[in-house]
């Protein structure tokens, strides 16, 4: 009898797992039930016959989609409707913006690794590479970031160069005079400039991100494109985009900037137009802008356009010299002197064709912004952050070998190797994520969720990397001056974290709030079906959803108990075990997500600590996926294996910790207990990188020049005589030459052939004893002189100090 009920339970589970696939899904479970029936003996047949008839009735009802929809789904629809979130107009537009890609795979609980690893990014074109090697390299040589900070602006010759070389037209198609670059090339340009000067990088990236150029390319009328795009590409127009206001920060849809359709006078003509009023702040390039993109609420109280009175968010292009516009004042964002400031407009009249997209663009501004942000957010700040992290990694790895304490390079101490490993591992994750996200864009995707992940997690990772680098450089890191490159990178960290959607909001509301609906295999389909009253569509989605949950509930504990070893869909390779463990966490994430959505329903979006942790799990899985993809497409270089493994292990630990946090805080405690038993049956199993792994990463960074070069590829290398990184790299070369000489001297002391003495005395004693040669002594002296130079810090007299900016 017990065996029979086990088979019944197993039958029901299998049937539900494939409930959305019709009657055929019940054939194998039914056959199993019949087999037990025949083996049970004649005495039990009446009872079994009753159960079998009930089972057959269940098959007839649930196995027939039309019958199931009519008798089951129709009755469940009101209950399902109460559980699903209600979408406002702006939420719907945000959800409809962009596309889903690898995030859908991670949400599914069964990611297809062959699909990811088989995805080939497009290489840079010859003109793109030539631009990096030519104008971008030349721009970096022209820049002196300390001088830029003290001057409070880029030099005039740099502004002229940027315009002449069409840096402001990277995203503008060639037919309009732009460069027409891919996302990958655009990203590489920003990354390289950011490794030289954040001020210059921001100045270049803003016209190529969310703003007039991008909006015109995708939504402008033919006339608008023909007039504005060539002028923007040549730098004849300097654009800004006025979105943020005192009342509308991350909630940009709450703007109180208004536009009213009316008749007015423009350049001596009476015509139909819009009277605008706005107050905006934090607008990059506003103080030098000649063309302002403005987002505002448009109303048509007299119905002059023949439609609704309230048309919604609209975007328009406004020449900066029009009467009523206040522009030119500057904010001071952390002393980083890119142009950023407020702008106001009072009763500014513009013709109707100022609306981006013309009359048809009225009220479509929010859709335009969400679609464009899905792309722009993937490139600008992630690239700037990666450039900053690579600069920190290169600089501090050189410093750790040049700087000595206790006659030993500080990079040999475990206490220093620990932050060095974090710097290298996080930088690898960052660059992999930047490259993969840009490759997705170049393949035609507009990854709304993944772009938010890239922006938030890479700007946060830059904070961690630069903080660790500052700790290693210690006192030298906190003395501002031309020698201290890190201080200027550190000052820029909060800027990236704050703009284009503050990271707090991005993490707690946007990533999972959009991801739970857009990336889930069935959630959006259920919402649409309920809203439209489409019972057959709801039936397919609902029972497909039920089957997905049951399959995941079976899969998740099996993978958890074996740490992913039962996952067979992972290709062979050096990272096979890491990908199996990542598959296990994907299944756990999918199941925990179901528990949160079912128990909290529409209230989930207000439980921001829970959605934030779910966003953490999704984000870290994406970063780990990116690291695996990079390692594969770089040809699995042996020197990079430690970087990739550290990054993936760190991401796995963070993702598992986030899921554990959800389970500890899920209000429905019985459900949380069941979920914990399914996804963490033996507790947490991802501890993160151990000390041995950290030491391996640090040694690769310090001792493998090829691995170090690959990790920091794409940044600017200053000349050897330049203060900061230039002289530090030159000192590293001399210190590396001297290492073998110093090793021979230490060995002679250990063998009692020499007595221990301070550095210079020991070297001379070694020369006298024949342990080292004259050439060796000169190498030591050159290394010591270089060390003495690069460990110096800046100082100023009273007059100089009083004149410092920032």
Between helix 759-768 and helix 774-790 the angle, nearest 10°, is 170
Q: Tell me if 368 sits within 8 A of 356, measured CB to CB.
A: yes
Q: Tell me if 212 sits within 8 A of 291, measured CB to CB.
A: yes
Residue 93 appears among annotated catalytic residues: no
| Closest C-alpha among 605, 556, 499, 558 to residue 250 | 499
- DSSP one-letter code for 278: E
How would DSSP label each residue in 142-162? H--HHHHHHHTS--HHHHHHH
Q: Pairing relation of β-strands 258-266 and 291-299?
A: parallel
Q: Tell me if 261 sits within 8 A of 219, measured CB to CB.
A: no
Distance from C-alpha of 451 to C-alpha of 441, rounded to nearest angstrom: 10
Neighbours of 148 (CB within 10 A): 22
Q: Tell me if 62 sits within 8 A of 25, measured CB to CB.
A: no
Which residues fall within 8 angstroms of residue 767, CB to CB, at 6 or more apart?
A: 773, 774, 776, 777
Distance from C-alpha of 693 to C-alpha of 347, rounded to nearest angstrom: 63
766-795 in b/e burial notation, b at 16+ Cβ within 10 A? Answer: bbeeebbeeebbebbebbbebbeebbeeee
Neighbours of 210 (CB within 10 A): 21
Which residues fall within 8 angstroms of residue 134, CB to CB, at 6 or more apart?
A: none
Distance from C-alpha of 556 to C-alpha of 390, rounded to nearest angstrom: 37
Task: Give, for 498, the enclosing helix (H) or strand (E).
Answer: helix 485-498
Distance from C-alpha of 9 to C-alpha of 448, rounded to nearest angstrom: 41
- Integer Rg of the chain from CA: 31
Tokens coding 786: 């270089």
Distance from C-alpha of 178 to C-alpha of 163, rounded to nearest angstrom: 11
Distance from C-alpha of 794 to C-alpha of 455, rounded to nearest angstrom: 34
Neighbours of 226 (CB within 10 A): 12
Backbone angles phi, psi at 348, to 5 degrees: -90, 120
Backbone angles phi, psi at 267, to 5 degrees: 50, 45
Active-site residue among 191, 500, 578, 594? 500
Tokens coding 437: 């996200």
How would DSSP label each residue in 27-52? HHHHHHHHHHHHHT-GGGHHHHHHHH
Which residues fall within 8 angstroms of residue 537, CB to CB, at 6 or more apart?
A: 525, 528, 529
Neighbours of 305 (CB within 10 A): 16
Residues paired with residue 298 on neighbouring β-strands, in sequence order: 259, 312
3-state secondary structure 88-126: CHHHHHHHHCCECCHHHHHHHCCCCHHHHHCCCCCCCCH
Which residues fall within 8 angstroms of residue 41, CB to CB, at 6 or more apart?
A: none
Question: Which residues are tagged catalytic?
Answer: 500
């Amino acid at each position: 009898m017990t065996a029979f009920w086990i088979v019944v339970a197993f039958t029901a589970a299998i049937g539900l797992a494939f409930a959305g696939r019709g009657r055929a899904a019940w054939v194998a479970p039914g056959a199993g039930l019949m087999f037990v029936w025949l083996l049970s003996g004649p005495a039990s047949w009446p009872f079994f016959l009753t159960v079998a008839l009930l089972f057959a009735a269940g098959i007839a009802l649930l196995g027939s989609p039309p019958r199931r929809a009519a008798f089951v789904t129709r009755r469940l629809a009101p209950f399902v409707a109460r559980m699903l979130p209600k979408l406002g107009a702006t939420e719907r537009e945000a959800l409809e913006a962009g596309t889903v890609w690898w995030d859908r795979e991670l949400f599914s609980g069964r990611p297809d690794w062959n699909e990811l690893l088989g995805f080939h990014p497009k290489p840079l074109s010859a003109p793109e590479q030539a631009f990096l090697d030519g104008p971008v390299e030349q721009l970096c040589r022209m820049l002196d970031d300390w001088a830029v900070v003290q001057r409070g602006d880029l030099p005039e010759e740099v502004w002229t160069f940027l315009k002449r070389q069409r840096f402001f037209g990277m995203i503008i198609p060639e037919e309009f005079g732009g460069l027409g670059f891919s996302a990958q090339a655009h990203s590489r340009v920003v990354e390289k400039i950011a490794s030289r000067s954040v001020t210059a990088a921001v100045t270049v990236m803003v016209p190529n991100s969310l703003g007039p150029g991008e909006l015109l390319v995708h939504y402008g009328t033919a006339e608008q494109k023909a007039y504005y795009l060539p002028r923007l590409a040549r730098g004849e127009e300097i654009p800004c985009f006025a979105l943020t206001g005192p009342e509308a920060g991350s909630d940009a849809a709450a703007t109180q900037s208004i536009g009213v359709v009316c008749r007015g006078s423009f350049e001596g003509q009476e015509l139909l137009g819009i009277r605008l009023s706005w107050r905006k702040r934090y607008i990059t390039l506003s103080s030098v802008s000649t063309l302002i993109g403005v987002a505002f609420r448009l109303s048509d109280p007299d119905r002059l356009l023949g439609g609704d009175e309230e048309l919604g968010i609209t975007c328009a292009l406004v020449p900066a010299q029009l009467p009523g516009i206040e522009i030119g004042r500057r904010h001071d964002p952390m002393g980083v002197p890119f142009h950023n400031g407020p702008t106001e407009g009072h009763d500014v009249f513009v013709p109707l064709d100022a609306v981006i997209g013309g009359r048809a663009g009225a009220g479509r501004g929010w859709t335009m912004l969400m679609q464009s942000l899905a792309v722009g957010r993937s490139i600008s700040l992630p690239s700037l952050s990666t450039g900053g992290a690579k600069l920190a990694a290169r600089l501090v790895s050189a410093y750790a070998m040049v700087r000595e304490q206790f006659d030993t390079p500080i990079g040999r101490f475990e206490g220093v190797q620990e932050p060095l490993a974090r710097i290298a591992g996080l930088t690898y994750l960052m660059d992999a994520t930047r490259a993969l996200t840009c490759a997705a864009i170049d393949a035609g995707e507009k990854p709304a969720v993944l772009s938010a992940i890239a922006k938030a997690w890479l700007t946060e990772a830059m904070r961690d990397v630069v903080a660790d680098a500052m700790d290693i450089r210690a006192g030298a890191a906190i003395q501002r001056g031309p020698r201290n490159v890190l201080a200027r990178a550190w000052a820029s960290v909060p800027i990236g974290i704050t703009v284009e959607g503050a990271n707090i909001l991005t993490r707690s509301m946007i990533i999972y709030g959009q991801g739970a609906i857009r990336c889930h295999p069935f959630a959006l389909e259920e919402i649409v079906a309920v809203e439209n009253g489409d019972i057959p569509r709801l039936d397919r989605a609902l029972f497909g959803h039920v089957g997905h949950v049951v399959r995941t509930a079976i899969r998740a504990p099996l993978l958890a108990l074996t740490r992913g070893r039962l996952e067979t869909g992972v290709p062979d390779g050096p990272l096979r075990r890491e990908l199996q463990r990542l598959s296990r966490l994907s299944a756990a994430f999918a199941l925990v997500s179901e528990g949160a959505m079912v128990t909290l329903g529409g209230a989930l979006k207000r439980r921001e600590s829970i959605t934030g942790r779910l966003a953490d799990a999704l984000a870290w899985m994406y970063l780990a996926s990116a690291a695996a993809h990079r390692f594969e497409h770089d040809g699995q270089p042996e020197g990079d294996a430690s970087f990739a493994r550290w990054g993936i292990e760190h991401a796995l630990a963070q993702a598992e910790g986030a899921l554990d946090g959800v389970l500890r805080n899920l209000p429905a405690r019985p459900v949380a207990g069941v979920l914990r038993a399914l996804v963490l049956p033996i507790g947490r199993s991802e501890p993160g990188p151990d000390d041995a792994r950290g030491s391996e990463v640090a040694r690769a960074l310090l001792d493998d020049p090829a691995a170090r070069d690959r990790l920091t590829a794409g940044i600017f290398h200053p000349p050897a005589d330049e203060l900061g990184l230039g002289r530090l790299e030159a000192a590293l070369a001399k210190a590396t030459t001297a290492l073998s000489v110093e090793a021979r001297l230490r060995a002679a002391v250990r063998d009692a052939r020499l007595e221990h003495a301070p550095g210079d005395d020991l070297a001379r004693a070694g020369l006298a004893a024949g342990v080292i040669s004259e050439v060796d002594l000169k190498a030591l002296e050159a290394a010591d002189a270089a060390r003495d130079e690069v460990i110096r810090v800046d100082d100023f007299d009273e007059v100089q100090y009083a004149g410092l900016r920032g």
